[in-house]
């Protein structure tokens, strides 16, 4: 059966098209009783407004685009889900645009989004220091950056890497550890530098940072390096991500060092496929990606409504997930 239009609704309710529209949207002057009747009839005949027609006129499509370069999806999807989750109840939908790091694709997606009159765009990157396409800055619709830094005066949301690092270190200190080492990823990642700095500030003299890559392999190797030094073994290790932490835990077991007995370990990411499966299960820092998605979604929502949204970088708190690799509590 043909989809019901507002014309059908008007006829069925015995009013004019404009009255029907006003009644549904609460605009104009309308009698309460009429409103009631129109709404009831709309329900009965199953009328739902055509979003295309509405958007054409109001110039608001109630849709936004989410531009990402992350194919594997480990970071993007939780954020996208967060965005969608917070927006669906406000009637906003999300276009997913995976660019695969290909500038041509990014441009193509961007043009299509503009053709579709999206109300805003959320840009996401997998690496904090990856630069978003410069075209974004010149758009006349709002743009929000999630896990990525936009140009001057733009709106960005990040996990609070420094606070996350402090959370980890302070948890270790609170459970009585004093010689804490930091094994992390490549120094050219912005997040790596931020976390390392927070770690240093927390630990004070004696801080020791080992940069490497994001692999378990590197976790093994770093442990090798640390232990081969002989003297002054650390009693805790703060790792830059969960993969490294897993390598560290395995290496320590190979060396017959107990976790957390001899050395406590804390990770970063709370990537559950790893952190739940290490032995013992890994205490780690969760970046609350979904929360970042929520914030980005709310920011876009506010902007499309013309509300003022504070610009600049907002850092959202990370959360400590306590499992068993630091002793004490269980999951």
Q: What are the backbone angles phi and psi of residue 267, rounded to the nearest 5°?
A: -105, -165
**How many positions of this chain bind a copy of itself (CB under 8 A)?**
53
Check binding of 241 to DNA (CB under 7 A). no
199 binds, among a copy of itself, DNA, none (CB under 5 to 8 A by kind): none
Check binding of 19 to a copy of itself (CB under 8 A). no
325 binds, among a copy of itself, DNA, none (CB under 5 to 8 A by kind): none
Check binding of 274 to a copy of itself (CB under 8 A). yes
Exactly one of 1, 12, 36, 54 binds DNA (CB under 7 A); which one?
54
Q: 49 or 302: whose CB is closer to DNA?
A: 49
Check binding of 27 to a copy of itself (CB under 8 A). no
Query: Residues 87, 93: contact at Cβ < 8 Å?
Result: yes
Q: What contacts 268, CB < 8 A, 6 or more positions away?
A: 164, 165, 168, 195, 239, 240, 241, 242, 245, 284, 285, 287
16 binds, among DNA, a copy of itself, none (CB under 5 to 8 A by kind): DNA
Q: Which 152-191 positions form the footprint of DNA (CB under 7 A)?
A: none
* Of residues 162, 173, 161, 172, the one with CA closest to residue 283: 172
Q: Which 87-126 positions form the footprint of a copy of itself (CB under 8 A)?
A: 88-89, 91, 93-98, 100, 105, 108-109, 111-117
Q: Which region among 14-22, 212-220, 304-312, 314-322 touches a copy of itself (by CB under 8 A)?
A: 212-220
Check binding of 276 to DNA (CB under 7 A). no
Check binding of 77 to a copy of itself (CB under 8 A). yes
311 binds, among a copy of itself, DNA, none (CB under 5 to 8 A by kind): none
Check binding of 19 to DNA (CB under 7 A). yes
Check binding of 195 to a copy of itself (CB under 8 A). no
From residue 35 to residue 64, the character string flagging contacts with a copy of itself as x (rule: CB under 8 A) and all else as - is -------------xxxxxx-xx----x-x-
Site residues for DNA per CB under 7 A:
3, 5-7, 15-19, 21-22, 24-25, 27-31, 34, 47-50, 53-54, 56-58
């Amino acid at each position: 059966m043909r989809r019901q239009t507002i014309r059908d609704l008007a006829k069925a309710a015995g009013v004019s098209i404009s009255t029907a529209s006003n009644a549904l949207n609460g605009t104009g002057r309308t009698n309460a009783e009429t409103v009631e009747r129109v709404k009831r009839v709309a329900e009965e005949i199953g009328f739902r407004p055509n979003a295309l027609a509405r958007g054409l006129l109001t110039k608001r499509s109630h849709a936004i685009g989410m531009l990402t370069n992350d194919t594997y999806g480990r970071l993007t999807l939780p954020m996208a889900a967060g965005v969608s989750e917070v927006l669906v109840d406000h009637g906003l939908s999300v276009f997913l645009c995976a660019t695969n790091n290909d500038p041509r694709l990014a441009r193509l997606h961007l043009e299509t989004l503009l053709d579709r009159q999206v109300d805003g765009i959320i840009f996401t990157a997998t690496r904090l220091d990856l630069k978003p396409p410069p075209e974004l800055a010149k758009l006349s619709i709002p743009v929000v950056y999630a896990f990525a830094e936009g140009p001057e005066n733009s709106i960005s949301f990040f996990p609070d890497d420094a606070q996350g690092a402090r959370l980890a270190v302070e948890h270790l200190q609170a459970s009585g550890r004093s010689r804490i080492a930091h094994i992390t990823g490549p120094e050219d990642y912005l997040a790596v530098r931020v976390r390392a700095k927070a770690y240093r500030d927390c630990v004070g003299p004696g801080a020791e940072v080992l940069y490497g890559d994001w692999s378990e392999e590197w976790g093994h190797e770093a442990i090798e390096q640390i232990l081969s030094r002989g003297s002054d073994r650390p009693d805790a290790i703060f790792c830059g991500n969960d993969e490294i932490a897993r390598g560290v835990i395995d290496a320590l077991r190979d060396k017959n060092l107990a976790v957390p007995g001899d050395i406590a370990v804390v990770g970063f990411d709370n990537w559950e496929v790893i952190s739940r499966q290490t032995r013992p299960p890994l205490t780690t820092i969760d970046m609350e990606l979904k929360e970042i998605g929520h914030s980005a979604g709310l920011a876009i929502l506010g902007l499309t409504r013309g509300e003022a949204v504070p610009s600049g970088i907002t850092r959202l708190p990370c959360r400590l997930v306590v499992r068993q690799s630091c002793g004490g509590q269980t999951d």
